[in-house]
Structure 1
Amino acid sequence: MRFHISACIAIAILFSIAGNSVAQTNTLYFMDKIPGRTGVNPGFIPSQDFYISLPSVYAGMGNNSFAMSDLLKSVNGSTVTPFDKGAEYQSFLHILKPLTEIKSEATLSILGFGFRKNKNYFSFGLSEKVVSSASIPKDMFRLLLEGVNQNSTSQHFDLSSLAIDATAYVETSFGYARQVTPRLSVGGKLKLLFGQLNTKMSFSQLSLSGTEAQTTMTGAGTMRLSVPGKIYADKEGYPDFANMHGDDFGPTKFKGTGLGIDAGAAYKLTKDLTISAAITDLGFIHWQKSDWEGSVKANTTFNNMSFAVNGGNDFGAVLDTLKQSLHFKPNGSAYNSSLTAHVKVGAEYSILKDKIGFGLLYDSRFASSATSGTITASANLRPLSWINLSVGYSLINNEGSNIGAGLNIIAGPFNWYVITDYLPLSYAEGGIPKMKQCNVQTGISFAFSAPKKKVHKQQAEQTPPPPGN
């Protein structure tokens, strides 16, 4: 039982890691031959006259406290975590911030296409998105790793900032951009959102005080759950997750609808200098109701419980006790949830007839719980018509991060790319990367452009004079 608990905690932390992830990589911003670049700024107009995108994928993970090499360590040829029995954990606790913000995002772009009409560009997209976040106070890690001591003076663990939030929804987007002048382009997207799942848990108070001999937990919090299906109640009136029926669930059983907007612009200050700005994912989802609403009001005393992962606890008894503090009711009221908006400001200076560009991008992320910023500097190489390369470096919340890289290959109408903002360049023993964030984006498009018209001399020079002159 101890092994399973410690392994589950480590795996959950590792694979829910996500820091400043976005629906697209920041490296994509300056890769101007990729039609999907309109996702980071709808004011960018694709160079192709028509494109159709096949399914593409984005996945991002990271956190603001610890690197993967802090969580996983190689010891005598085996990989261990701080949660394993007998493992050294003090160094892990030492590097943790007071609040570890864990966020993740995944996007499956199912279909997209766009086309040019004179100075106008129209586009459409269909995608599935899953966004999750968790806030874990340092005292929670300390409790799980050290527990409460039996013979020491009373200890106190403040867990009130513990929170979990997850949303899944389908997004349909309708985009329009226009080349207003030879120097200025503007664009926007209207997004129709169809909510599938939303769950949220937060606490106004949650603490643990005492010793192992006698510990008191006090807490007050709320939780909400909306899912694309039906969760029935058990005999005691709690949600019966163990007996859910597959026939009652489906990805098209939407539980909410919403709206989102993107807006952006790009302007060429000079022949070689372009500045741009955009706001993306500004919007909300209105959930028709919550399938279950819960509240927690706990004032419970535990005897002979250390609460440490490897402390010999009967966690089943703890859960049974806590269950009495949970109060659930089905068919809760309607509510709204917000998207995570981004504001981006960028500039690129090109040389050698746009063969090389040097870009600088600031991306500010606005979530309901926190705001974070990323600065990315990049060198963008366009040596040939069929290849586009980008290399960048990012600062996240004033902390240095990893090198980013992007590769775009074009063969006739075939347009393929793979991009990441975080290439692991430093590794700990056992080949474990020293990185807090990771993301990857890849996709394929088929893009077409009409043949360019040849430039002729003036008509007066080409046409012979009329007869009689």
Structure 2
Amino acid sequence: MTNKQAIAFLLFISGICTYAQNKQLLYNFTEIPQSLMVNPGTAIQNRGYFGIPVLSGIYVNAGSSNMSVYDLFADNGVDFNAKVSNMVYSLKAGDVQRVNQQLEVVNIGFKIGGHFGKSYITFGAYQEIDFFNYWPKDLAILAYEGNAPNIGRAFNLSHFNVKGELLTVYHAGYHKKVSDRFSYGVRGKIYSSIIDFTSTKNSGTFITTEGENNFYRHALVSNVEVKTSGYASLREDDVNGGRDIVNKMMPRAFLAGNLGLGIDFGITYSPNETWTYTASIQDLGFIYHNKDVERYTLKGQDAIEGIELPFDDIFNDTGLSNNWQELVDEIEEAFPRDTIRDPYTTMRPVKLNAAAIYNFGGYAGKNACDCTASGFDGLINSVGLQLFAEKRPKHPEVALTAFYYRRLAQALRIKATYTVDKFSKKNIGLGLSTHFANFNFYLLADNLLEYYNLAKANNVSIQLGFNYIFPIRN
């Protein structure tokens, strides 16, 4: 494999985990206390709960837009170089790379106001990793082909668009059941950022044309900025190994990092026992980065003349080749790289959920299971449509889900979903919630048709957890 193919391969690996953070199985699954995390106004099926610490909410989401691991590594007789080439040219600048992981540390909720109280309080904390990237198509082609075959083509630097963060979120919520028909909820959040890197508003071009004094003329117009917080201190001399890195990062998880504020809001409206409508907004907020900040800028324009830029000869046995290092030095002289420490603000990825639900079938009755009670007196079946949208730098990521919910027995509930989005047209998910001796266990898995061969999956999502529930007393 040549160097230019290795570069394209590394670009692919750097973005192999992708998917929108859509929790369609959890949304409206009201027997699971964590459904309050995606809609603070959802119907509540208990008088209190606490999540088993660290085990109450484990969420992992991974996949790839329009490309899977199987496409690159399948033993199907196709030359590996041809697979890399197909990957470079088939992915588009709008294809998304994404990984999201969440781990609940604490999650507690309880009714206030006595047996007939209609208010509910929740609080807790969770850790989150979020990485989001648009495929850098022009940069991948430039790395793969070099500039000589692309005379006159302007490579777009705005294709470099990436965002990644590690943070802890502290939250407290209030839920009010106004009547059997309507309830609402609101949750405040404090974000404690541990590490952040953001580069989403870049512009500029690189173009090679016929030269006047030499074979080629290379022109670069650049307005690129990479913002980081929590990263600079990890390069200090006293940081040596993983333990030192953890010691640097740990205090930031406990409100010693860069802080921000956010809010969630949700409602549930049931005009009658048959129809229910829900909606929620999550992470309407920001983080202000003013500690351990470094911002790297590459701004300016210049042109140089030469035979061919060595994109396909970057490395040799000792590292960077002399030709490439000379080019880097020349570019650095023409485009001074500024490192500044001014604060910056990042907005959280706002998420919208909405659903219309039709309830039908026989009545389970409020006495059918002492761990549940509903505003519509326990109809055992529901079908409906859910809409999800998440704000991202170029455009919202949108998904539409059809679902079926069923109360199978006193201790078991299931929900099946079919989701259509830009990643898949055959995403079938299944979730279950069980109740034994007041303990709740739930398992939600997405894209089940791909589990027989995960390497072929464009996305996979799984969520599970354990809670202790204080049932409603009749």
TM range (shorter): 0.7 to 0.9
Q: Distance in 1 between matches of 2:218 and 2:275?
A: 63
Worse-matched range after superposition: 156-165 or 267-276: 156-165
Confirm whether residue 307 of structure 1 aligns to residue 342 of structure 2: no
TM-score by length of 1: 0.81
The one-letter code sitting in structure 2 at the alignment partner of 1:47 is Q
- How big is the shift at 1:155? 4.2
What corresponds to 1:221 in structure 2? 224
What corresponds to 1:440 in structure 2? 462
What corresponds to 1:42 in structure 2? 40
**Where do 5+ consecutive residues of structure 2 fail to align?**
364-378
Which aligned pairs between 1:108-147 and structure 2 lie closer than 5 A? 108-117=103-112, 118-147=117-146
Count how many residue pairs are aligned between Structure 1 and Structure 2.
430
CA contact (8 A) 1:229 1:250 kept: no
- How big is the shift at 1:422? 2.3
What corresponds to 1:337 in structure 2? 346
CA contact (8 A) 1:129 1:168 kept: yes
SS at match of 1:252: helix
SS at match of 2:34: helix
Q: Distance in 2 between matches of 1:215 and 1:13?
A: 32
Root-mean-square deviation (CA, aligned residues, Å) is 3.3
SS at match of 1:141: helix
TM-score by length of 2: 0.80
What corresponds to 1:59 in structure 2? 60
- How big is the shift at 1:74? 2.5
Worse-matched range after superposition: 396-405 or 311-320: 311-320
Which is strand-richer, 1 or 2? Answer: 1
The one-letter code sitting in structure 2 at the alignment partner of 1:444 is F
Q: Pick the aligned partner of 2:99 from 104, 114, 123.
A: 104
SS at match of 2:447: strand
CA contact (8 A) 2:15 2:133 kept: no
What corresponds to 1:327 in structure 2? 337
What corresponds to 1:19 in structure 2? 19
Q: Percent identity?
A: 20
Q: Distance in 2 between matches of 1:283 and 1:381?
A: 35
**Where do 5+ consecutive residues of structure 1 fail to align?**
235-239, 453-469
1:84-129 Cα shifts (integer Å, max 9, x gaps): 5x33445434532243222222111111010112111111120111
What corresponds to 2:447 in structure 1? 422
- How big is the shift at 1:326? 5.3
The one-letter code sitting in structure 2 at the alignment partner of 1:223 is V
Q: Distance in 1 between matches of 2:246 and 2:386?
A: 47
The one-letter code sitting in structure 1 at the alignment partner of 2:184 is V
What corresponds to 1:460 in structure 2? none
Q: Pick the aligned partner of 1:387 from 406, 409, 412.
A: 412
Q: Distance in 2 between matches of 1:306 and 1:228?
A: 31
Confirm whether residue 348 of structure 1 aligns to residue 357 of structure 2: yes
Q: Distance in 2 between matches of 1:225 and 1:197?
A: 8
The one-letter code sitting in structure 1 at the alignment partner of 2:98 is K
Q: Distance in 2 between matches of 1:65 and 1:179?
A: 44
Change (3 A) 1:363 1:147: same
What corresponds to 2:273 in structure 1? 271
1:169-205 Cα shifts (integer Å, max 9, x gaps): 2111111111101111111101111122221225221
Change (3 A) 1:305 1:424: farther
Change (3 A) 1:269 1:305: same
The one-letter code sitting in structure 1 at the alignment partner of 2:74 is K
The one-letter code sitting in structure 2 at the alignment partner of 1:335 is Y
Q: Distance in 2 between matches of 1:247 and 1:172?
A: 20
SS at match of 2:268: strand
What corresponds to 2:391 in structure 1? 366
